[in-house]
Amino acid sequence: MIKISPIFCDHMILQRDVPVKIWGEADLPVTVSIDFNSSVCWSRDGAFEITLPPHKAGGPYTMFVECGGEVIKLHDIYYGDVYLAGGQSNMGLTLADAPQELDECALPVRIFTQERSWECDIRPETDMRWVNIAKENANGISAAASHFAIELANTQNVPIGIVSCNQGASCIRTWISPETVEADPFFATNPTFHDDATIFPFNGYSDQYLERLVKVAPYTVRGVIWYQGESDTADTIVEHYAYMFDLMVKDWRRLWGNDDLPFITVQLTYHTVDRPNDRWELMRDQQVKAALEGHNIGMITIGDAGDLPDIHPRDKKTVGLRLARYARGMIYGEDIVYKPPMCTGAVLDGDTVTLSFSDTGEGLYETEELTFLVADESGTDHKASYELCGDKVRVKADGIKPAAVKFCYDAESAVHLYSSADLPASPFKITL
């Protein structure tokens, strides 16, 4: 008898150019064949894991999984690039809920969505199977990941597959392994979290790691796109987000056996905060910290793509296209501006502060009047005048001795400052 993991099914996309793992249950030796290449392995304790040799992009192919005279045939398989789409509800939000038109694509673009935890969310027509990223499947597939996949397929000229592994309202701690939670003293000394983060049955330590992640790992992927953080903005935990994100990334890389597995994250956009102890601005600081200090981690900004007061902005095409642009630069090595502008320094001269920015391309521009706030030594904010000068902004405090400069450093302000590549700057507070 042989049984393969549910992720291996008709229409799947396999990762090109690297060894690919296939696993499942069997009592006898297993042979896996695809495109005239065969690999054999012995089963152990009723389980098997087999590694297929690297294969160039292409298809369609048929895979044969054989054991003791039993044969499983899987049809319409392609090799291309595969990404895992992780996070919470803004990553899981479907094309039906964010109904922006999909761009056309002549190549296979497909998505595998794990069965959802909440009974009301289960979509039998799309869950636990590989389906085309197309309008007819809009009710069950991630909008952000769909636009990301199509853009990559069109720019890289290869099939793209998405493994959708996310859970609405999930906290980052639930995606961390139980071994890490047990071993790291941080979790023993920080037991308090926001009430909303504990009322869901799937938000215990390591719940999503055990119930979701290990069931798709180590399905070979080229990288991870991650959109999460809304459930971790409470002041009791937000300052530790970058630390927990680092632990999570290390866990996932161990699980996939790839210390360089790329992660591209989405910084939260603006939102009407209705909980007094939420610190949206600190979460965005933590997301910047995680990206800047981590290895092979990137971050896109979407401070111009919010939808007040909705925590679920419908513009997921912007999210997907910016994730794809970042991947084009970070993973595929294209010579493009793909990182968002970041404030990297400030020089004070009298009552004028000159702010320096990275990744501005040919310079910064604005689409609406900007608001820069200068804090005096007492902490009181004052609106300042400003001037854009290439990759710098000169902020004049009008006679006030500035102690800090803030830009969109709150929950509800939209960003209208861009690089020449049309990428919005990250909100910031810089102390002088």
Residue type, 281: E
The dihedral sign for the CA sequence 241, 247, 250, 252 = negative
Q: What is the pLDDT of residue 118?
A: 63
- C-beta neighbour count of 60 within 10 angstroms: 12
On the question of pLDDT at 55 being above 60, the answer is yes
Q: Domain 2-78 falls in which CATH fold?
A: Immunoglobulin-like (2.60.40)
- Per-residue pLDDT tens digits for 240-296: 999 999 999 999 999 999 999 999 999 999 999 878 888 999 999 999 999 999 999
Rounded mean pLDDT, 3-22: 97
**Rama region for 332: left / alpha / beta (φ>0; ψ in -120 to 50; rest):** alpha
* Fold matches, 2-78 and 80-330: no
Q: Which two tokens stand for residue 79?
A: 């090799």
Q: What is the pLDDT of residue 192?
A: 59
Which residues share a beta bridge with 383?
Answer: 373
Please state the domain extents for the chain. 2-78, 80-330, 342-431
**How much of the chain is helix, strand and coil, in % rounded to 5?**
25, 30, 45
Cis peptide before 424 (omega within 30 of 0): no
Q: What is the pLDDT of residue 187?
A: 87
What CATH number was assigned to the domain covering residues 342-431? Answer: 2.60.40
pTM as predicted: 0.96
Residue found by looking up tokens 């820069």 in the block: 372
User: What is the spatial distance between Cα 410 and Cα 429, in angstroms, rounded to a whole number?
Assistant: 10
Rounded mean pLDDT, 225-232: 96
- Per-residue pLDDT tens digits for 209-220: 999 999 999 999
Architecture of the domain spanning 80-330: 3-Layer(aba) Sandwich (3.40)
Q: Which two tokens stand for residue 73?
A: 């045939």
Q: Which two tokens stand for residue 407?
A: 């830009």
Q: SS3 of 128, please?
A: coil
User: What is the spatial distance between Cα 167 and Cα 269, in angstroms, rounded to a whole number?
Assistant: 19
